[in-house]
Amino acid sequence: MAGYLVFAAVLAGVALGADWGRLADAFFRPDIAAELFPEIITVALVNTLLFTGLAFAFGLVLGMALALMRLSSILPYRWFAIGYIELFRGLPSLLVLFMVGFGVPLAFPEAQIVGGVYGAVSFGLGLCAAAYMAETLRAGIQAVPKGQLEAARSLGMSHARAMVSIILPQAFRIVIPPLTNEFIMLTKDTSLAYVLGVTASSIEVTKFAGDALNRTVNATPLVVAGFVYLLITLPLSQLVQRLERRGNRRK
Amino acid sequence: MAGHAATTDTAAISVRGLHKSFGPLAVLKGVDLEVARGEVVCVVGPSGSGKSTLLRCVNLLEEPTAGTVRVAGVEVTHPDCDIDGVRRRIGMVFQSFNLFGHLSVLQNVMIAQRRVLRRPAAVARRIARENLDRVGLAEKADAYPAQLSGGQQQRAAIARSLAMNPELMLFDEPTSALDPELVGEVLAVMRSLADEGMTMMVVTHEMGFAREVADRVAFMDGGAIVESGPPAAVLGSPRQARTREFLHRVLQQ
């Protein structure tokens, strides 16, 4: 009870003491906010989703390959997977993006990454995400009881068939929450795309808001950009909750 | 007769000089066992005697250290053996059921028919329903394993094996994980299978089942078969001291 009283008192103090006019002027000017639309959605949000989706898809495929290599009975595969995971978990995404965007092209001018900045960003971020996803997927595969594989094999399924039909579907269900976290982290990491020189058509939410900040000398674009990110992440966490409820019913 | 070629002998399972070690631990120390077609053999013995390991060597879930195992004329211990091909002819029922948790009961019984035998969906569904009916679970087809009792899960697992039309069935302590009141329904299904002439190798602690259903009982201790014969002989008037000791302990419970 006392806790609630303290909370209410603090709230009242802030509400009465704050200079609301000045705050609104600095952080939410409706005219500046209105100016951001529709491009912040039609261009910036779409690009952010595109960068995230491509990086996630690439990272998931690579991460799955690494997870299976990590669990392989063939020693060199295991070594490679462990080396990769340790390396890319330890590197900042920004450094990898610089390497993909500038380092490699300097060394091999004739090599070109397909998809321009989209390809470079999703490749760079996907390389890093794959390391995390590989560990998540490995843990998911190992969390499926050993008896599931034995039952599948004893029905005559090959190891590969048992993995695809029996183990991986159950492993994915286990790793949906951590994979969603990975997706959310990737969403935020796409704000690094600007270092590779995005254009007016490939601009994403953070760079878009930063440009608007410079133009308007006002923080409103940043606040709007924040809400746009929540537009992505809040439905995702809802989705995860629903999937988890469904999974629990079946488990 | 060379290698893994089919032979004309009638043995469903033929185990010769089987050894199995886990590291320094020798679990099987030279086991010989024959199971004829249509025969029901129960393997009994104390915990750690190697019963389950012996059973798991039959479909190569465990790789024997030495010795040969032939199933329906095929030498499964031969390096060139197509083990997946042999396993689809052998049904296996586990202590912990191992139903596929992400699939409904019907899908559990269908998936290997579809993916291994490549039966069309309609055929697989019909056969699945027939076998669920056979184990008394027709009305649970759309339930998920987690919604079933242990006894129902084990009966579904038996249906899953039967849907593959196996030539023989292996049972690895099928009732050991069940609450006592659920044991009977699983044993009843197994008994009806035996009555229909299914070849069965059953590792069990259910002495009543062994006595009434088995054609032969093999008593294992210390990684070897100590004695085997008709249930009345092995369980009724055992010749070996170790068998008598074991039965004495079990029947006291």
Q: What is the pLDDT of residues B218-227, one digit of tens each?
A: 999 999 999 9
Task: Express each pLDDT in B170-204 by its tens digit.
Answer: 999 999 999 999 999 999 999 999 999 999 999 99
- Residue-level pLDDT at B23: 93
- Residue-level pLDDT at A23: 86
Q: Could you tell me which of B184, B182, B125, B183 has the C-alpha nearest to residue B159?
A: B125
- Using the Cβ of B146 and the Cβ atoms of chain A, whether some distance falls under 8 Å is answered with yes
- Residue-level pLDDT at A106: 86
The answer to whether residue A204 is domain-embedded is yes
- Residue-level pLDDT at B7: 46
Range of the domain at A199: 37-250
Q: Are B94 and A147 within 8 A, CB to CB?
A: yes
pLDDT-above-90 percentage for chain A = 67
Task: Name chain A contacts of B55, Cβ cutoff 8 Å.
Answer: none
CA A187 to each of CA A114, A200, B106: distance values in angstroms, whole numbers, following the listed order? 21, 19, 40
CA B55 to each of CA A185, B49, B165: distance values in angstroms, whole numbers, following the listed order? 49, 12, 19
d(CA A134, CA A10): 46
Task: Name chain A contacts of B53, Cβ cutoff 8 Å.
Answer: none
Task: Express each pLDDT in A123-151 by its tens digit.
Answer: 999 999 999 999 999 999 999 999 999 99
The answer to whether residue A7 is domain-embedded is no
The answer to whether residue A191 is domain-embedded is yes
For residue B200, give the 3-state DSSP assignment: strand
- Residue-level pLDDT at A19: 85
The answer to whether residue A181 is domain-embedded is yes
Task: Reply yes or no on whether the pLDDT at B246 is more than 70.
Answer: yes
Q: Are A156 and B164 within 8 A, CB to CB?
A: yes
- In sequence order, what are the residues at sequence separation of 6 or more whose Cβ sits closer than 8 angstroms to the Cβ of residue A250? A173, B101, B102, B144, B146
Q: Which residue has the tokens 């042999």?
A: B86
The conformation of residue A191, written as its DSSP 8-state character, comes to G
Edge to edge, the sheet with strand B40-44 lists B90-93, B168-172, B199-203, B40-44, B216-221, B224-229
Which chain A residues have any C-beta within 8 angstroms of a chain B C-beta?
A: 145, 147-148, 150-158, 161, 165-166, 169-170, 173, 249-251
The whole-angstrom distance between residue B239's C-alpha and the CA centroid of its chain comes to 26
- Residue-level pLDDT at B123: 97
Q: What pTM value is reported for the model?
A: 0.86
For residue A162, give the 3-state DSSP assignment: helix
Task: Reply yes or no on whether the pLDDT at A193 is more than 80.
Answer: yes
The answer to whether residue A27 is domain-embedded is no
Q: Are B112 and A156 within 8 A, CB to CB?
A: yes
d(CA A125, CA A96): 8
d(CA B101, CA B118): 22
Task: Reply yes or no on whether the pLDDT at A221 is more than 70.
Answer: yes
Q: Are strands B11-22 and B66-71 parallel, antiparallel or unpaired?
A: antiparallel
Q: Could you tell me which of B171, B160, B162, B6 has the C-alpha nearest to residue B76?
A: B6
CATH code at position A86? 1.10.3720.10
Q: Are B90 and A154 within 8 A, CB to CB?
A: yes
Task: Express each pLDDT in B78-137 by its tens digit.
Answer: 999 999 999 999 999 999 999 999 999 999 999 999 999 999 999 999 999 999 999 999
The per-residue b/e assignment along A68-97, b for 16 or more CB within 10 angstroms, e otherwise, is: bbbeeeeeebeeebeebbeebeeeebeebb
Give contacts of B 104-123 with A, CB under 8 A. 111-112, 115-116
Instruction: Name the residue facing A150 among B61, B85, B164 (closest C-beta).
Output: B61
Task: Express each pLDDT in B3-50 by its tens digit.
Answer: 444 444 579 999 999 999 999 999 999 999 999 999 999 999 999 999
Number of domains in chain A: 1
- Chain B residue whose CA is closest to A172: B102
- Band of the pLDDT at A20, cuts 50, 70, 90? confident
The answer to whether residue A6 is domain-embedded is no
The answer to whether residue A133 is domain-embedded is yes
The answer to whether residue A20 is domain-embedded is no
Neighbours of B136 (CB within 10 A): 15
d(CA B211, CA B231): 5
Strand partners, B66: B19
ipTM of this complex > 0.90? yes
Task: Express each pLDDT in B124-137 by its tens digit.
Answer: 999 999 999 999 99
d(CA A167, CA A139): 12
- Structure-block tokens of residue B179: 């609450």
